[in-house]
Structure 1
């Protein structure tokens, strides 16, 4: 078993408390609503460092006008499975697209998740 770690960073015009409420606290309801084609199912995972554990998500104020969201992902592979850079790049692109949909929803619905 190997461990593959990568980081992702997004900036947003949406303040961190709204992003946290929408994406983390209600993501299992909101994401299928705004991107039904992207999500087969959602589940909040509280891990122990093993497979599918969310290690760290940081929501920080970028300025008074937005946020910077940084994630660190630790992928624990089984056996001799190898994670290739192109798979990581494709995953980051999908995550970026989903994040942009979320951001668009929050801009269009300024009273949501206040």
Structure 2
């Protein structure tokens, strides 16, 4: 059992995405974190610089289009989240954490889509 609030960290992640706050978002990740996105082909990003390169073009688009929390729940080894962008594009993200209370890894993939289908993650 961790001594930090994993759900709280993911809520902070959602808030940073809503605000388009790249610095706060990046500070939630461990320095050696890994982000894997399989929304449009599998691609891994390792470390702060690569994760910043992934998020830089997306975060302002996500925040201006509307970023909404759909579902959040604890998983056996982290937190699973589903969010939508622009009210329709749904993305599933799984977060795992290091002992220091930072995001160690994140996997994002398309979720069941509602009105529109798209790829933005």
TM-score range, shorter chain: 0.3 to 0.5
Q: Judging by fraction of residues, say which structure has more strand.
A: 2
Q: Could you say which structure has the larger radius of gyration?
A: 1
Q: Judging by fraction of residues, say which structure has more helix.
A: 1
TM normalised by structure 2 equals 0.34
Q: Which has the higher contact order (CA 8 A, sep 6+)?
A: 1
